[in-house]
Amino acid sequence: MKKASIPELSEKLAAPLQALASPQRIAILLVIGKGEACVCHLEAAL
């Protein structure tokens, strides 16, 4: 079994986190984290 190199491993770990890389997506998560939110609340946060 081949061990993954640091660059390969870092790419594998970074891939799922790329979805959070967008500031707009982070803002949406912050709004949702406070509780229920309708689309108008999400739109206002952006």
How many degrees, rounded to 5, is the angle at CA 31 between CA 37 and CA 18? 120
Please state the domain extents for the chain: 20-46
- pTM confidence score: 0.56
pLDDT reported for residue 1: 55
The string of pLDDT tens digits covering residues 1-42 is 567 677 887 888 788 888 777 888 878 888 889 999 899 988
pLDDT reported for residue 45: 83
Neighbours of 32 (CB within 10 A): 13
The string of pLDDT tens digits covering residues 26-35 is 788 888 899 9
